[in-house]
Structure 1
Amino acid sequence: MNTQKLQSPANMNDMKSRMEKAAEMKDEDKLYRRDGILYSTVLSPPETMDKLKDLQAREDDLILVAYPKCGFNWMVAVLRKIMNASTGKDEKPPERPPLVEFLPPDVQEKLAEMPPRRLLGTHLHPDNMPATFFTKKPKILVVFRNPKDTLVSYYHFMNKNPLLPNAESWDKFFSDFMTGDVSWGSYFDHALAWEKRIDDPNVMIVMYEDLKQNLPEGVKKISEFFSLPLTDEQVSSIAGQSTFSAMVENSQKSHGNFGSIFFRKGEVGDWKNHFSDAQSKQMDELYQAKLAGTKLAARMNYDLYCQ
């Protein structure tokens, strides 16, 4: 059983065929709406989303969750390094991130054949995730990033990813993001959903900015959360291999032609190069209306990173 293939949404040939399919599609056909939320027609068609309801999580699974462009691919690489170091294995990274909503129905069925411990990931809102992600009580790592930098990264991602429609103008994408009319739905709806679970002992929420500030500490806390013990030397080594510059250098190996799509700048504060004063103020007001006073907001440190 090739567990590496199972841990990626598709092998390279399948991904090539998906890209060819997307190339023949009009931009307006690359997304479809399901229960009010936009999803990729090519990556997450209705039959794939329907099948997700049957996905059986295990208590020892490692679940990684992040709203798009909040550091998902970065944390996939970090988690794989932690798993390899802790277990003494040296499994090569899969061809694509382990997003369950990208797994065709037949591949989802084969997940049951994978040995423990499985790394499963998703961008989905908690209400749309497989129910067993919560009922089986696996540990769930959730990564959040300040909304201004998330929006900027998402904008560039839409314009560089051939599987998704072009974001058109900056102003148009800004407006869509603010109303939640983007793929995978509203950033703020995701944030509020995780705010409700912030005290769940099986949920660990980490901030992108904190990881950028002190990655060794983040690696240590994440490894402890998943009960994957590391020595101080291993923590230091993993952190050194997982800086953004190191990830970019390795992206051709880890993500092939998608490397430049997934890893752009990785900076904190790049929003200042894109937002107008009026847009910054509009985001500040929305943030205050949605998240002010929440425990998640206290961790996000919005005033420091978004003012």
Structure 2
Amino acid sequence: MADITQTSKNDRAALMEMIHSTTKTSFEDLLFSYKGILYPSVICSLETFQALEVFEAREDDLLVVTYPKNGTNWLIQILYEIMALVHNRERGLDATMIEFGSPEVIARFKDRLSPRIFSTHLQFKAIPKSFFEKKVKMLLVLRNPKDTAVSFYHFHNNLPSLPSYDCWDSFFKDYIDGNVCYGDYFDFVSAWEKQFNQETMMAITFEEMKLDFLTTVRKISEFFRLPLSEEQIRLVAKNTSFNSMKEKSENTHGKLGDSFFRKGEIGDWKNYFSEDQSKVVDAMFEKYLAGTKLGEMLNYEKYCKF
């Protein structure tokens, strides 16, 4: 156990160092395209994606799926807290996303104790097939597209491994065109909508996590069959509130802590979007997600209208 823990921590430390210390600066050097989707070249590679194609999932694996800046790190910390209580496991043992790092890192996934926690920003079509073959439980976390855009904009400008932008308007154009890491937000969500499996998948929203955190923690523990008492649910909620995560971010994410846990607010988009930009996103939502189950969950009228 000690060796596995140390190896995972070393992999994570190496990844954070790569993200923070890259000398690449241009858009072309920082991003690369794989099967039509852009990825950060500092921490993703063709070889890693090829290794994922033959990755062997286990039936008791846990997979958290999010578009960037939709609550990934928050959800992972919640699962670590739950796992610590249910399985007496060390917190933060295996924090890297499945597509980050080298093929050697992926090869070491097999040494991790079950149940393993994984996370990803990959679109549906890019998820390793074994996750579906093994009927792995997948938790999809959604956030409204306008707050997602603003958070992603700041993430680009604060993370050395991503291209920076001179102004919001420039980023907004790339976001709408899908010319950002992991591609178009609406393509991402609509693909999961079309393939959603009620037996193996559950969706929650960033907004419900903010507004009714206790209920959300309870839903997560029940979905992954990690039973908690009401007292334990309250303890997990206390230890993993957004403010708590932000306070601990330097320990969990090093120098980049503030980049991963910036504001976590609902409605910050109103400080950035012009009326025309808002209408563009409104039209895209209407085209791709209006009337769908996941679209309804986003509560668009409440969170995305001026």
TM-score, structure 2 normalization: 0.95
- Matched residue, 1:274: 272
- Matched residue, 1:181: 179
Instruction: Give the stretch that moved more between structures: 289-298 or 63-72.
Output: 289-298
CA RMSD of aligned residues (A): 1.7
Out of 195, 219, 222, the residue aligned to residue 220 of structure 2 is 222
Residues of 2 paired with 1:60 and 1:6: CA distance?
22
Give the drift of 1:270.
0.4
User: Structure 1 counterpart of 2:276, which letter?
Assistant: A
Asked if structure 1 preserves the Cα contact closer than 8 Å seen for 2:18 and 2:43, the reply is no
User: Structure 2 counterpart of 1:23, which letter?
Assistant: T
- Matched residue, 2:170: 172
Asked if structure 2 preserves the Cα contact closer than 8 Å seen for 1:54 and 1:130, the reply is yes
Give the drift of 1:180.
1.1
Number of matched pairs: 304
- Matched residue, 2:140: 142
Give the drift of 1:109.
1.1
User: Structure 1 counterpart of 2:52, which letter?
Assistant: L
User: Structure 2 counterpart of 1:281, which letter?
Assistant: K
Residues of 1 paired with 2:17 and 2:60: CA distance?
33
Deviation string, structure 1 residues 79-134 (Cα, Å, up to 9, x no partner): 110111122x150324x832010031112112112220100110000101111111
Report the CA distance shift for 1:131/1:199 in structure 2 as closer, same or farther (over 3 A).
closer
Give the drift of 1:6.
5.3
User: Structure 1 counterpart of 2:131, which letter?
Assistant: F
Deviation string, structure 1 residues 237-276 (Cα, Å, up to 9, x no partner): 1112221111111111111112111000000000001101
Give the drift of 1:7.
4.7
Instruction: Give the stretch that moved more between structures: 164-173 or 38-47.
Output: 164-173
Deviation string, structure 1 residues 270-295 (Cα, Å, up to 9, x no partner): 00011011111111111111111111
- SS of the aligned residue for 2:99 comes to helix
Residues of 2 paired with 1:144 and 1:111: CA distance?
26
Deviation string, structure 1 residues 190-245 (Cα, Å, up to 9, x no partner): 11111123343100111110111101101011101111000000101111222111
Report the CA distance shift for 1:134/1:9 in structure 2 as closer, same or farther (over 3 A).
farther
Alignment of 1:1-307 (within 5 A): 2-5=3-6, 7=8, 10-13=11-14, 15-17=16-18, 19-20=20-21, 22-87=22-87, 89-94=88-93, 97-307=95-305
Report the CA distance shift for 1:243/1:17 in structure 2 as closer, same or farther (over 3 A).
closer
Flag structure 2 segments of 5+ consecutive residues without an equivalent.
none
- SS of the aligned residue for 1:220 comes to helix
- SS of the aligned residue for 1:196 comes to helix
Asked if structure 2 preserves the Cα contact closer than 8 Å seen for 1:9 and 1:98, the reply is no
TM-score, structure 1 normalization: 0.94
- SS of the aligned residue for 2:11 comes to coil
Instruction: Give the stretch that moved more between structures: 7-16 or 72-81.
Output: 7-16
- SS of the aligned residue for 1:165 comes to coil
Asked if structure 1 preserves the Cα contact closer than 8 Å seen for 2:67 and 2:188, the reply is yes
Give the drift of 1:18.
5.2
Residues of 2 paired with 1:299 and 1:234: CA distance?
27
Report the CA distance shift for 1:213/1:117 in structure 2 as closer, same or farther (over 3 A).
same
- SS of the aligned residue for 2:259 comes to helix
Report the CA distance shift for 1:281/1:62 in structure 2 as closer, same or farther (over 3 A).
same
- SS of the aligned residue for 2:33 comes to strand
Asked if structure 1 preserves the Cα contact closer than 8 Å seen for 2:20 and 2:159, the reply is no
Asked if structure 2 preserves the Cα contact closer than 8 Å seen for 1:98 and 1:119, the reply is no
Asked if structure 2 preserves the Cα contact closer than 8 Å seen for 1:9 and 1:100, the reply is no
Asked if structure 2 preserves the Cα contact closer than 8 Å seen for 1:70 and 1:150, the reply is yes
Give the drift of 1:74.
0.5
Residues of 1 paired with 2:78 and 2:137: CA distance?
16
